[in-house]
Amino acid sequence: MTDADPPKRKWRTGSLSRRMILISAAWISVLLAGGGFALDRVLTSAVTQNTDNQLQYILKSLLVAAEIGPDGEVIFGRDLVGDPQFLEPYSGLYWQISAPGKEVFPSRSLWDRQLAYGAPHDDKGVHTYTSNQFPDQKLRIVERDVKLPGSNVRWRFQVAQSREGLDAQIASLRRTLVRSFALLGLGLVVLAWLQTFYGLWPLHRVRQEIARMRAGQANRISSEMPSEVAPMVEELNALIEHNERQAEEARRHAGNLAHALKTPLTVIMNAATAQADDLADTVVREARTMRRQVDHHLARARAVGRRGSAHSRAEVWPSLESVERAVARLYRHVRIDVTGPKDLAVHVERQDLDELLGNLIENAAKYGGGSVFVTVGAEAGYVEFLIEDDGAGIAEADRLRIFDRGVRLDSGKPGTGLGLAIVRDVAEIYEGTVSLEESEDLGGLMVRLRLPAAA
């Protein structure tokens, strides 16, 4: 990709609001469809049962009024008061009494039609069903087979009614249900949209606040946020503060390094300009000084860069063993004893932990009398290292000054004077501490290093 090519935009995964609304709409549709279907079944069954009850009432009236005449046919022994539709041809309301081998006794409304007899029933119950036996009318039929007193014939009593009115009622109920549930569903979807819009509005405010920060109008998100969003805003502000602190530290380190290198470079430039006789020695001396400064600031920069890692973790005992072996090879006359739990870990990068312990143990071996004792333990969320030697120790008045860069109390031994300064800076970067005390057991110096413990 050339410099002229526009930067590629990352693919978006879609709108969160659209997802929430679509999920709500789908779930509302499923619930309303299921509820509507169940309610439709209940109402349809209720309307149909009401029609069947009316037909059964007419059937019971026919059974009560029916008798067997002298010729063995069914007659009505009392006046049968019924619906006038039984007298109107093809009115849609019919009754019929029939039996195999007997003459059919129909209502006048049947006119020239007859209801199908169908299969005989062995029980005495009422049977209800829908029939399409009339081409122009779908019928709802209620029938029962009975033996009347004085007759051995099983007579079938049938009452039928056109389903037109029943189907019209059911269709009207369904239209009402569909309209009501559609309106309810629309209202619920609108409610879900309003809830989503209002619920996600704080995220829109967060976006506006971030845009203000990018425009230089603010450096933090200061608006009040709901309790669910507030933790995210707090973490974002903490991240911004962390980045600002790292940037400030980087600027300070760059300034300190530039200042530290300025003097040696000036000395070299002056010696070179004056063509001094000791130019070579001057260059070597000042180059060593610059290298010490560069090493010091690089160590700080590495620690600052690693501190932001949430996974910074180092096992204490392997690091101690590694440093002990390395120092023992350099100072073969020194005895180094290490004691303490072997399962401790610190919230520090392994390379930085090796550098911290290496500087302290090497100093103890270099300036001690031949014995170094290292004790490690856990205390109040920290891992504490006690590095003791049997040397001359350091006067209390010099214990703070020795941490300054380039300060050396014993110039008779090789060194840069930056070891303790690096230890202090790296320990503070990881929110640890380092201090100098007098060793009660060995009589020399005791260095107390505290680093945050890792779970």
Residue-wise pLDDT tens digits, 336-366: 999 999 999 999 888 889 888 988 999 899 8
Class of domain 39-170: alpha beta
Domain 312-452 homologous superfamily, CATH: Histidine kinase-like ATPase, C-terminal domain (3.30.565.10)
Strand partners, 131: 139
Select from 385, 382, 308, 40 the least CA-distant residue to 181.
40
Select from 128, 214, 187 the least CA-distant residue to 163.
128
Select from 239, 249, 262, 292 the least CA-distant residue to 425.
249
| pLDDT recorded at residue 71 | 81
418 φ/ψ sector (left φ>0, alpha ψ -120 to 50, else beta): alpha
| pLDDT recorded at residue 2 | 53
Give the whole-angstrom CA distance, residue 106 versus residue 87.
Answer: 11
| pLDDT recorded at residue 413 | 42
| pLDDT recorded at residue 115 | 93
Which regions of the chain are under pLDDT 50?
1, 308-310, 405-418
What residue spans define the domains of the chain? 39-170, 230-306, 312-452
Select from 98, 150, 103 the least CA-distant residue to 120.
98
| pLDDT recorded at residue 406 | 44
- The token pair at 398 is 């010099």
pTM for the structure as a whole: 0.51
Q: Which helix (H) or strand (E) holds 144?
A: strand 137-147
In order of 162, 251, 261, 287, the CA distances from 258 in angstroms are: 104, 10, 5, 14
- Same fold? 39-170, 312-452: no
CB of 96 closer than 8 Å to CB of 105? yes
In order of 327, 360, 373, 426, 438, the CA distances from 441 in angstroms are: 22, 18, 9, 28, 9
| pLDDT recorded at residue 418 | 47
| pLDDT recorded at residue 16 | 80
Give the whole-angstrom CA distance, residue 18 versus residue 390.
Answer: 72
CB of 449 closer than 8 Å to CB of 385? yes
Give the whole-angstrom CA distance, residue 364 versus residue 445.
Answer: 8
Q: Which residue type, as a one-letter code, is found at position 187?
A: G
Q: Output the DSSP codes for 5-29.
A: SPPPPPPP---HHHHHHHHHHHHHH
